Amino acid sequence: MSKEQQELLDEAYVNYIRNFSKYVDSLPENGEAEFIINKDKFINKCKTDSEFSEKWGLKIEERELSEEEGNEIRDMQYFKNNLHQALKGSDTKIDWENIPTKLIKITYNDKTIESYEKRYTCF
């Protein structure tokens, strides 16, 4: 996840907490704010509960890239590297290990940030 995406998640969670702060101040001394969930649960709930996600204006989409999408990214990487290497006068190499397999799209306050991640595999 990118730094910009993390900042959007932080902003959404702070907004969520601020909405409930007036209730927290009125709790008894030994009371707990059971309705306030921690940040990890908030993010997970936004991923899995569309009604909750819509209420807080935070949309998180994660999906695996298709083989075709992965090939397109690989081809773009090859072209970029090929051009860069040609300008430097050296051979072109593709970093096959760095081709992403997952797309993460986060939208909050009409701002959308996409990032790609590689799924790690063990051999």
Report the helix count and the strand count for the chain, using DSSP H and E: 4, 3
94 and 78 in contact (C-beta within 8 Å)? yes
Q: What is the pLDDT along the chain (123 residues), one digit of tens a residue?
A: 789 999 999 999 999 988 876 655 555 555 555 578 899 999 999 999 999 999 999 999 999 988 888 878 878 877 766 555 555 555 545 555 667 888 899 999 999 999 888 765 544
* Residue 110 and residue 91 share a domain: no
70 and 100 in contact (C-beta within 8 Å)? yes
How many domains does the chain fold into? Answer: 2
Instruction: Please give the pLDDT value at position 123.
Output: 44
Residues of the domain holding 85:
68-99
* Residue 24 and residue 35 share a domain: yes
Instruction: Please give the pLDDT value at position 34.
Output: 55
* N-term to C-term CA, the chain: 24
Instruction: Please give the pLDDT value at position 20.
Output: 75
52-57 — which CB contacts under 8 Å span 24+ positions? Answer: 56/12, 56/15, 56/16, 57/12, 57/15, 57/108, 57/109
* Residue 60 and residue 72 share a domain: no
* Residue 46 and residue 75 share a domain: no
- Which pTM value belongs to this model? 0.67
